[in-house]
Homo-oligomer: A and B are copies of this chain.
C-alpha cells in the first residue's frame, strides 16, 4: 500500500489524505499514518516545488563536466560547497570517469553562461577542465519505485497487496 501512496503522491504531492484514501481504498487517517511513517523512515525526504526556469528568467540550461585536479578531499570539499552556493546551480553530481563532476545549471542567456563558466569555474585553480553541453529539452520521468514494483495494481485487478 505504501507503494500505491508513493505513486499517487509523486504524481501530485498536494493530494489530500481524503483523495488518497479514496484511491487506495482505506481511511484517510490510515494514509496519514503511512505517509508519516514513510516520512520518519526517511523514504520521503521532503517536498519540492517544480518551477518553470524560463518563466523565472533562466531560459537557458546546461550541463557542465568539470575536472578537478588534483582530486583530493582538501580541494573537492570546498569546490562542491562553492558550486552549490551558486544561484545558477541546480544539481551537482560527483561521478566516475575522466570528468569528476557534472553540474546542472540554469542561466539567463548565453552571455550569462559564459560569465558563469569563466568566473566561477575556469577561474578556479583546481578546475582543470570544463566541458559545456547545452540542454535542448529535458523530461522528468515517472515515479521512482522499488525494483519489481511495476505499475499495475497486480494480478486480477481487484486484489489488494498487503504489507
Contact = CB atoms under 8 A, between A and B. Distances in A.
Q: Name, among A89, A94, A147, the residue most crowded by chain B CB atoms within 10 Å (CB to CB).
A: A147
Contact of A45 (B46, B50, B99, B144): B50
A27 interface: no
Contact of A133 (B58, B92, B95, B140): B95
Given A57-B146, A58-B144, A84-B142, A93 B63 contact: yes
A121 B133 CA distance: 21
A13 B45 contact: no
A158 interface: no
Given A48-B48, A134-B96, A138-B94, A53 B144 contact: yes
B63 A95 contact: yes
A36 to B, nearest CB: 13
Interface string A35-72: 00000011111111111110111100001000000000
Interface of A: 6, 9-10, 12-14, 41-53, 55-58, 63, 80, 83-87, 89-97, 99, 102, 106-108, 112, 131, 133-142, 144-147, 149-151
Given A51-B144, A84-B142, 4 more contacts: A9-B49, A42-B55, A56-B144, A91-B139
